Structure 1
Amino acid sequence: MKFLFIHQNFPGQFKHLAPALAAQGHDVVALTLRVKEPTTWQGVRVVPYAIKRGSGQALHPWLVDLDTKVTRAEACFHAARALRDRGFTPDVIIAHPGWGESLFLKDVFPEARIGLYCELYHPSEYPHTGFDPEFQPEITITEPLRLRMKNLNNHLSFAMGDAGLSPTRFQADTFPESFRDKITVCFDGIRTDLLVRNDAVKFALDDATTLTREDEIITFVNRNLEPYRGYHVFMRALPRLLKERPNARVLIVGGDEVSYGARPPKGKTWKQIYIDEVRGQIPDADWARVHFLGRIPYDRFMQLLQVSRVHVYLTYPFVLSWSLFETMSVEGAIVASATPPVEELITDGETGRLVDFFDGEALVDEVCDLLDDPEERARLGRNARAHVVENYDLAKVCLPGQLKWVRDLAAMPPSKMGSPCI
């Protein structure tokens, strides 16, 4: 069969599924903005497309988001036509619709079955909005209207989608009931064979310092250091945490940009804003035990998780980070926020410890308690790994589930375009 993948940053969430289909002998092509020249990656022909016009031209602010998506959709439409004209007509299209690229693909390939990666819908009620009053002190009367417009892309995509795939139940349940029954919940998959406990691990902090599991290491990992992932809560807990644990080192991984949520004031970063907020409360000797590592290669990232004694993970009610699953896979002892997506993965007292997202004092209490209790850390870590192996292992659970989803999608009769279910 012929498969077409659509992802602006391919492979993204399709990094296992697309090569698996190619390995089965299928003709697999991907359209993406990520590359500039055609290439082949793990049996997948990767074809670039380019955006040829600007976005956000003199529009109502609520339409700027849709405008950027239609702009990408138009570019992807022309790239898809070029593929068709060169003789490639997919039986199945698998698309991440979040950036709009897939909006017009049914116009090019009307007989193709379309599967959508349903990452997130944007509900207007708490806790999806108004969760953190520091950054959204009140919900304006127009906020539900703005979010309804932001979801236009989702609704336009629903009209073309034959089936959906969501990595967690929390994410699937954000979608309207009119489409939810088409969504299969199947996580992206964790390499539990690779991500294992390693008692002999060494982590080179710098040229002079190498850390092992004998060291008291506390870790905090985000793609970018920002409030959506609880960076402000963690930083505000640091003064007491460092005082309580005079031998601990705190290793923080993450970039200076914004992945989600509000942007910092112009010219500033969330990272530096919260360093500045707490720095005066932390003596120089304690601050020397805080290490900002930026973004690190994956082999060092695995070593970091393996050397960690307690890992802290905080998030708004939002998409879960792969790093949480990966920490569980290496038998990490985790203190995490008791927010809906985390509670789907971690059971308090069984596979980790949960605290209120905003309660920095409770966070410190739980971290210190685990640091003092190696038997409890080991028990939680074993349970965490067992849970991930049973439910989220790539080879035994997730990839077979995704391939079944694809087979079921391919077996569906070709659908015709309907009117958007707005």
Structure 2
Amino acid sequence: MFLSSDFLNITTSPRGGLVGFDGERAANDQAGFFSLARNTVPNVSLGSVELGHVPMRWQHDLFPKHFHDKMYVCHDGIRCDILGPDPDVSVRLGRLEKALTREDEFITYIARNMERARGFHIMMRALPRILEEHPKARVIMVGGNETSYGVESKHPKGLRGEMEEELGNQVDWSRVYFVGRVPYPDLCKIMQLARCHIYLTMPFVLSWSLLESMAMGATIDTSDVAPVREAVTHGETGMLMGFFDHDALAAQVVDVLQRPDDYAHLGPNARAHVVENYDFKTRCLPEHIARMNSLLPATKQIRL
């Protein structure tokens, strides 16, 4: 039997991942045990499978050690053949009157939902300094206003409403575009036009958008946490900084915008890294098929 899992809190400890990471919104006493309970099925399943799969080394190491030899690490894969840089990209979004191009100085932030697990509150707190120190900069925020993971905001308008209330008139909101969830083709174009792409996450499963943005040659500022460090090397394929340090994030983004030539190597290096290690056709699919074939007789093996 073969088991593929994106679960990450399969662990003998009731802490780890999101649980206990954010001191600003401390988890309740039941959070860790709930995390264990929600992973009961894959935990039990691993006892009977011949081979298990996880997409990241960090996730692999969170499983109990007696399962480690039964699992292999390989990402699902990114379609680098269809995801790449486009210097002539343009996209028209929502209330914007004209199509956006690489000539515009846009910073992008993308998440399924604008929530704490994906650093939305840190991104928002970085906005005042970014917009003040780089007057031409504008920001595109992609994502819903719900909570997929972790603690929900108690504000009636969700975390976005909470942060807008906290920041008030410190931010020039006319330069910040909340576009909600967008069709995938537009999402790709947004990544392609970014002067700087911000990806933030607590220790959790990586968003595909990080690897996709790397495949498209984005200059990335991101969180210095274990899962991200598997994909991003500081100063080579992106820039890492402490998750909670919104001032450092703002300073780094401003520096990228003001000295683009000093960071011009990051995008091409990021793409090369993803092509080598995460490409679906040339790296990940062959590995998955080889692993599955190892469980099958020769007559039933999958052929590419």
Both proteins in one fold, TM over 0.5 = yes
The question of whether the paired residues in 2 share the 8 Å contact of 1:219 and 1:312 is answered with yes
The residue that corresponds to 1:186 in the other structure is: 74
Cα distance in 1, alignment partners of residues 295 and 177 from structure 2 = 47
Residue 134 (structure 1) aligned to one of 13, 18, 24 = 24
1:288-343 deviation per Cα after TM superposition (whole angstroms, max 9, x unaligned): 01000100011111110110000011100000000000110111000001011001
Within 5 Å, give how 1:17-36 maps onto structure 2. none
Cα distance in 2, alignment partners of residues 405 and 191 from structure 1 = 20
Over alpha carbons, which structure has the higher Rg? Answer: 1
Letter in 1 for 2:178: F
The residue that corresponds to 1:201 in the other structure is: 89
The residue that corresponds to 2:105 in the other structure is: 216
Letter in 1 for 2:226: P
Cα distance in 1, alignment partners of residues 132 and 188 from structure 2 = 28
Could you say what secondary structure the match of 1:345 adopts? coil
The residue that corresponds to 1:229 in the other structure is: 118
Residue 194 (structure 2) aligned to one of 300, 304, 308 = 308
What TM-score do you get using the length of structure 1 for normalisation? 0.66
The residue that corresponds to 1:349 in the other structure is: 235
Cα distance in 1, alignment partners of residues 46 and 290 from structure 2 = 21
1:388-417 deviation per Cα after TM superposition (whole angstroms, max 9, x unaligned): 0100011100111111122123349xxxxx
Using the TM superposition, name which of 319-328 and 364-373 deviates more.
364-373
Q: For residues 329 and 148 of structure 1, do their structure 2 counterparts lie closer, same or farther at Cα, with a shift above 3 Å needed? A: closer
Residue 154 (structure 1) aligned to one of 42, 45, 48 = 42
The question of whether the paired residues in 1 share the 8 Å contact of 2:115 and 2:147 is answered with yes
The percentage of counterpart residues that share the same residue type is 43
Shift of residue 267, structure 1, vs aligned partner? 3.9
Cα distance in 2, alignment partners of residues 157 and 266 from structure 1 = 39
Shift of residue 163, structure 1, vs aligned partner? 1.1
The residue that corresponds to 2:173 in the other structure is: 287
Do residues 252 (structure 1) and 141 (structure 2) align? yes
Letter in 1 for 2:65: E
The residue that corresponds to 1:366 in the other structure is: 252
Q: For residues 158 and 218 of structure 1, do their structure 2 counterparts lie closer, same or farther at Cα, with a shift above 3 Å needed? A: same
What TM-score do you get using the length of structure 2 for normalisation? 0.91
> Gapped runs of 5+ residues in structure 2?
299-304
The question of whether the paired residues in 2 share the 8 Å contact of 1:202 and 1:210 is answered with yes
Q: For residues 402 and 267 of structure 1, do their structure 2 counterparts lie closer, same or farther at Cα, with a shift above 3 Å needed? A: same
The residue that corresponds to 2:301 in the other structure is: none
The question of whether the paired residues in 2 share the 8 Å contact of 1:228 and 1:261 is answered with yes
Cα distance in 1, alignment partners of residues 212 and 263 from structure 2 = 16
1:23-62 deviation per Cα after TM superposition (whole angstroms, max 9, x unaligned): xxxxxxxxxxxxxxxxxxxxxxxxxxxxxxxxxxxxxxxx
Cα distance in 1, alignment partners of residues 87 and 155 from structure 2 = 44
Cα distance in 1, alignment partners of residues 260 and 43 from structure 2 = 50
1:165-184 deviation per Cα after TM superposition (whole angstroms, max 9, x unaligned): 11111111111111121111
Shift of residue 148, structure 1, vs aligned partner? 4.0
**Structure with the greater relative contact order (CA < 8 A, sep ≥ 6): 1 or 2?**
2
The residue that corresponds to 1:240 in the other structure is: 129
- The alignment covers a number of residue pairs equal to 295
Shift of residue 385, structure 1, vs aligned partner? 0.5
Residue 334 (structure 1) aligned to one of 220, 224, 236 = 220
Cα distance in 2, alignment partners of residues 378 and 250 from structure 1 = 20
Using the TM superposition, name which of 254-263 and 119-128 deviates more.
119-128
Letter in 1 for 2:159: W
Do residues 263 (structure 1) and 148 (structure 2) align? no
Q: For residues 389 and 162 of structure 1, do their structure 2 counterparts lie closer, same or farther at Cα, with a shift above 3 Å needed? A: same
The question of whether the paired residues in 2 share the 8 Å contact of 1:114 and 1:160 is answered with no
Do residues 386 (structure 1) and 283 (structure 2) align? no
The question of whether the paired residues in 2 share the 8 Å contact of 1:118 and 1:164 is answered with no
Could you say what secondary structure the match of 1:275 adopts? helix
> Gapped runs of 5+ residues in structure 1?
1-112, 413-422
